[in-house]
Chain A
């Protein structure tokens, strides 16, 4: 394993906070292997008690949607209000939803 800085791959870091339900993306870092990435993420992104669980993913493994496709991917959902569950009348007993 080389410790040459220019060869260290990029990792995306996701942290779940104590009160949270899901891991949120908090940033990225360089590390030479997955174990080191977890250690570095602990040092860099959980210094201030931000989290109780860390996921690191090689940045290469992430496929992102392209901004130029965002019209086709997301705009059609804007005017389909029938997909939202907002037309039910809830009885008082469960109205806190």
Chain B
């Protein structure tokens, strides 16, 4: 259940973040692209959280209850996805680092048979995430192999987010149990594929892969950066002020 909850939380937090771009993107077409991606993620979040809610047999919850009534230390999303959007380049860098991880993960879950409900959600998500990864990697190529300004700024964005990439591959007991059951992929194998993809794109974009340094972790255990609390305050205020409200 925790594994599925994490899938939902990653999607929910990132979807909420991308939704913040609505009306603010640098071009109309990008505004629609980013918000479409946000909607895809929110759809995935709804499916995964509904499933996670039913897996908690002691106290089953709805997707809305999980999304709007948990506090930040109950969320198990990656620290990477809760970071502020920054400017367009920052958002693209964050997407680029996350999308390939999400794609590899979803591809695995779609073909495993331990949990067929999760497999169905993941199979639909794979098509969406394939487009997200294409979108972000193409932008990395344009910005990296672009003007001097775009090159140095996207390099800086990648450098800034690099410390959050370690957490994607830091296996804890949930990941180990998940890999044993077949539900989740083996993270060390996945990291090899992720590395080769990231390196290939960065090289084509004439960008430098940031040095591995200290990696931030804690998101999977509910220990988050300040960013998440602030974001949740805005996201949850309506449900908390008027509990049970609906459109």
> With A and B bound together, what is the CA distance between A30 and B30 in angstroms?
10
- A92, chain B: closest CB distance, angstroms: 49
Inter-chain contact B142/A39, CB cutoff 8 Å: no
Separation of A90 and B200 alpha carbons in the complex (Å)? 65
Q: How far is the CB of B22 from chain A (nearest CB, A)?
A: 13
A43, B36: Cβ atoms closer than 8 Å: yes
Q: How far is the CA of A40 from the CA of B150 in the complex (A)?
A: 21
* Residues on A with beta carbons closer than 8 Å to the beta carbon of B33: 39-40, 43
- A35 in contact with B36 (CB, 8 Å): no
Determine the chain A residues whose CB is within 8 A of the CB of B147 once the complex forms.
2-3
Known: A5-B26, A5-B27, A30-B27. A43 touches B32 (CB 8 A): yes
Q: Are B29 and A30 in contact (CB under 8 A)?
A: yes
Chain B contact patch, size range:
10 to 19
With contacts A2-B147, A3-B143 taken as known, whether A43 is within 8 angstroms of B29 at the C-beta atoms is: yes
Give, as a whole number of angstroms, the nearest-CB distance from B132 to chain A: 11
Give the residues in chain A near B150, CB-CB below 8 Å: 3
Q: Are A40 and B29 in contact (CB under 8 A)?
A: yes
Interface size class of chain A, counting residues whose CB lies under 8 Å from the partner chain: 10 to 19
A32/B142 in contact, CB under 8 A: yes
Contacts of A26 in B (CB 8 A): none
What residues of A have a CB within 8 angstroms of the CB of B28 in the complex? 29-30, 44
Classify the interface of chain B: helix, strand, loop or mixed. Answer: helix
User: A18: CB under 8 A from chain B?
Assistant: no
Is B243 interfacial (CB-CB < 8 Å)? Answer: no
A31 at the interface (CB under 8 A from B): yes
Q: Using Cβ atoms and an 8 Å threshold, which residues of chain B touch A8?
A: 27
- Chain A hits for B131, CB < 8 A: 42
Cβ of B32 to closest chain A Cβ, rounded Å:
5
Complex interface: chain A residues within 8 A of B195 (CB): none
Given A8-B27, A36-B138, A39-B134, A3:B32 Cβ within 8 A: no
Give per-residue flags for A1-30: 1 if the beta carbon is below 8 A from chain B beta carbons, else 0.
Answer: 111010010000000000000000000011
Assembly CA distance A16 to B19 (angstroms) = 30
Tell whether, in the assembled complex, residue A39 and residue B146 are in contact, meaning their CB atoms are under 8 Å apart.
Answer: no
Kindly list chain B residues whose C-beta atoms are within 8 Å of the C-beta of A35. Answer: 138
Is A80 in contact with chain B by the CB < 8 A criterion?
Answer: no
Contact (Cβ within 8 A) B143 A47: no
A42 to B147, CA, bound (A): 27
> Which of B32, B135, B138, B146 contacts A44, CB < 8 Å?
B32
Which residues does chain A contribute within 8 Å of B146, judged by CB atoms?
Answer: 1-3
Q: Find out whether the CB atom of A47 lies under 8 angstroms from the CB atom of B29.
A: no
B135 nearest CB neighbor, chain A only:
A39
Q: How far, in whole Å, are A36 and B29 apart by their CA atoms in the complex?
A: 10
Chain A residues near B (Cβ < 8 Å) = 1-3, 5, 8, 29-33, 35-36, 39-40, 42-44, 47
7 A-B pairs with least C-beta separation: A40-B29, A43-B33, A43-B32, A43-B36, A44-B32, A29-B29, A1-B146
